[in-house]
Structure 1
Amino acid sequence: MIQSMTGFGKHVAQLPSKKITVELKSLNSKSLDINARIPQSYREKELELRKMIADVLIRGKVDLGLYVEITGEETTAEVNKGMVKKYMEQLAQIAEGDDIKLLELALRMPDTLKTDKDDIDETEYEAIKDAMKQALSEITVFRNEEGKVLEQDFVERIKNLTSLLEQVNAMDPERLATVRERLERAVGDLKVEVDANRFEQELIYYLEKYDVTEEKVRLANHLNYFEATLKSDDSNGKKLGFIAQEIGREINTIGSKANYAPMQQLVVQMKDELEKIKEQMLNVL
């Protein structure tokens, strides 16, 4: 079973005076890259929250949003009256205006609100962790569903590659016969006498250079291995990526050795199928 790196999870927890929202978004990445947006009061818990994400998501570019909204009368913020007055006095010296206008401008300036830093409420933090677990559960379900779609596409592509390989196998005897005939005709056109035994030896040696039996066997093994890895319990994106590279290596070798237009056309189709696999592979965990 494979898992996508694309996902979304969100959970909202309602407390008596606060609403806590945890939101997770993930995209593909070579490693785990977490971008956290959390309130300043919870910065000391950031490492713990990051570890919770890393233990579950493992890989991907992850955006964490933690939002704490006060829904009751509770607040720790107060207007810094002294700072606001100083701003208003300075603004009055620069431009004319009534007190209400100056007050509006002053309140937009830095440090006009002061917040008493309280200790983190353990009940509230437990609610945050529970919300995080729920959001992680949701994003995991999302990733699994996306993974199923990718797996179906991979199975179809591998099936197409297997079919094309079977066509290559069926065509190979005809290809070798055509290459042999072409060489014999080319030598005949030279109108020179050649030693028949020596020519046959050279011909066999030449045809062996164009033999793709080994590549066909390896390609078939790689295709089977890819399909078996898809069915494993873990999501093996990196392993599947390596197998896809090996599949590409064998396809390229067959193409370079083919020396036969109909087989090279099949190789082009195989490369097209493999390219689609590689594009999707970037999103597999």
Structure 2
Amino acid sequence: MTAFATAQGAAERATWVWELRSVNGRGRDVKLRLPEDIDGLEARVREAVNARITRGNVSIGLRLTRDAGEGALAVDPARLDAVLDALDAVQERAFDKGVTLGQPTAADVLAQRGVLIATQAESADLAEPLFADFQTALTALLTMREGEGQRLHAVLTQQVNEIEALTVRAADMARARPDAVKAQMTAALARVMEDATGVDPDRVAQELALIAVKSDITEEIDRLRAHVQAARELLANGGPCGRKLDFLTQEFNREANTLCSKAQDVDLTGVGLALKAVIDQMREQVQNVE
């Protein structure tokens, strides 16, 4: 489901803004963009999201701005060494290629990710208020997702109603078919037997019986009714049901395809095509359901 939420806060020497986005997805994919120096924050954020969201692509970003103050920032020696070694390797490679590069300034080096870090005391002080504001943003995101879910519930319920109504129409047509099919087959048999010489009547009867069985849509009607009941139960029970509904729309479509192939009747084929159209619309909407 699509949703967006923000939350912002401030501490003695820092301000921050959380941004949370959610879009449709077949599974759950959580992407985080968080400062690396806040111990444990990423794990807590990911755990909180996984506990409350089961489907969708979720992007979470934290913009943290620290005021320059005494003891607020420190240099990570290991990271600094790695950056300097990388710069030295670039300079040597450029020299070998005959390329002259300008010397990086101290500001260029400090701008590299991870060189400047917050002191442990400051990071520890920020962890709790940051996570508290994240939970506020997550709740707002879930509220927006739930609002969309309620709207989708109404849409899906209407589509299930349409499928049920079309299934009833198909069943009514199926009940009216035997007499018409019998008359058609009797007339066809009479025409065949007039010109048939040495045809085994038992063999003809077997072929006619096979045709009658292949055109029977009773099983398809029964399964469509069962799928309608299953869809209603999923929608009524609440909770995550997107994947189950996705599977159910595939089963709906399978039965509608079989019904169309067995129809041998313009009106019944029209009902089957209408079923396929509604099922396809439902399948598109189900992709938005958690």
User: Would the TM-score normalized by the shorter structure come out above 0.5?
Assistant: yes
Name the residue aligned to 2:31.
35
Q: Which residue matches 1:264? A: 269
TM-score (norm: length of structure 1): 0.79
Say if 2:146 is the partner of 1:144: yes
- Aligned twin of 1:232: 237
1:26 counterpart SS class = strand
- Choose the corresponding residue for 1:15, options 11, 18, 22: 11
When the two structures are aligned, how many residues end up with a matched partner? 263
**Is the 2:18–2:133 Cα contact (8 Å) retained in structure 1?**
yes
Cα distance in 2 for residues equivalent to 1:120 and 1:281: 47
Shift of 1:37: 0.9
* Aligned mate of 2:56, from 60, 84, 108: 60
- Give % identity: 25
Q: Distance in 2 between matches of 1:234 and 1:116?
A: 42
Q: What TM-score do you get using the length of structure 2 for normalisation?
A: 0.78
Report the equivalent of 2:176.
174
Deviations 1:104-125 (A, max 9, x none): x847633468635410533321
Closer/same/farther in 2, CA of residues 197 and 50 from structure 1, 3 Å limit: closer
The amino acid that maps onto 1:143 is R
Matched with 1:49 is: 45
CA distance in 1, matches of 2:111, 2:207: 92
1:33, 1:61 within 8 Å by CA — same for their partners in 2? yes
- Residue 254 (structure 1) aligns with: 259
* Structure 2 SS opposite 1:145: helix
Q: Which runs of 5+ in 2 are unaligned?
A: 85-90, 92-99
Q: What residue number does 1:98 align with?
A: none
Q: Residue 73 of structure 2 aligns with which residue?
A: 76
| Structure 1 residue 201: Cα displacement | 6.8
CA gap of 1:181–1:107, structure 2 versus 1, over 3 A, is: farther
Shift of 1:192: 3.9
CA contact (8 A) 1:180 1:203 kept: no
Distance 1:112 1:161 in 2: 60
In the superposition, relative to structure 1, how do residues 186 and 55 fare at CA in structure 2: closer, same or farther (>3 Å)?
same
Does residue 123 in structure 1 map to residue 125 in structure 2? yes
2:109 is aligned to 110
AA at the equivalent of 1:66 = L
